[in-house]
Amino acid sequence: MIYLSFNLIIDKGTRLEYWNHIYEHFNPIAFDLGIISVHWYGIMYISALLTALWFAKWIIKKDTIDIKTDEIDNYFIWIEVGIILGARVWYILFYDNNTIYYLTQPWQIFNPFHNGEFVGIRGMSYHGAVVGAIISSYLFSRKHPNTLFKIIDVVALAIPVGYIFGRIGNFLNQELVGRATDVSWGIFVDGVLRHPSQLYEAFLEGFIVAVILYLYRKRKSFDGQLMGLYGILYSITRFISEFWRQPDIQLGYLYDNWLTMGQLQSLVMLFISIGIYFILKKNSKSY
């Protein structure tokens, strides 16, 4: 019995050490096509989109919501375009050190090549994606004014499910790393043990938010309520998770060694989400 326990302790320690050094054993490139290298992050991004769309259709069928398949498909096309444009432009405006360069040469914003080498499009902002989604939703509503708020409630349930894949993609891509730590489950990044904050975010901003909204969905009293709640819940969980995430190196802390750009924008998003929630509650038809 003592021998077995000793072996289990050694085995656990070996697995934990492997986890601590997982980036040394893992290649962020899934496969190479010659000119283009396909990263796990890209695969996770596609998985996030497809999973969110599948989950939205599953909810519509399960809860017998009066939304046609072509309506949800069209909306996802609109919102995906808005998300990509918003996320990229927002990052350039608030996070990138070369803002002036991109503003004077806007054709470079979505240029995936650097010095003739394919590097993909690097630098996206979630808060910018939200802004892009709002704009695209408004444009969509001009053609589908009677179904928008029903659709966005379904999307509010689907987004955090897909979001989990997105943050796992960040982890596999070895980006958005956590702050230095001494916890046993930390990950070594450039010789420094750090929190696997991407996974914290996948759990808090993805899984937890998804579960809360899913359990609450049958209690909603007006169309648009779930999207309002999503904005509130995401803002809170993102603000919390930023305490484990390393601030962007080009920005650092904004105030007194603790406030990050992500936290500041999450606070703004929180107040806006609360405002939108009560505006929708006041103007929407209650059940």
The pLDDT assigned to 282 comes to 87
- Residue 141 pLDDT > 50: yes
Mean pLDDT of all residues in 97-126:
78
pLDDT per position as a tens digit, 6-26: 454 556 667 888 999 999 988
Continuous H helices in the chain: 2-20, 22-25, 40-62, 69-94, 99-104, 126-141, 148-172, 197-201, 209-216, 225-241, 261-283
Sign of torsion, CA 276 215 222 60?
Answer: positive
Residues 6+ apart with CB under 8 A from 164: 48, 202, 206, 207, 210
User: For the chain, first and last CA: distance in Å?
Assistant: 63
- What is the pTM assigned to this prediction? 0.86
pLDDT band at 283 (very low <50, low <70, confident <90, very high): confident
Query: What pLDDT, on the 0 to 100 scale, is given for residue 198?
Result: 97
Q: Given pLDDT bands bounded at 50, 70 and 90, which one contains residue 120?
A: low
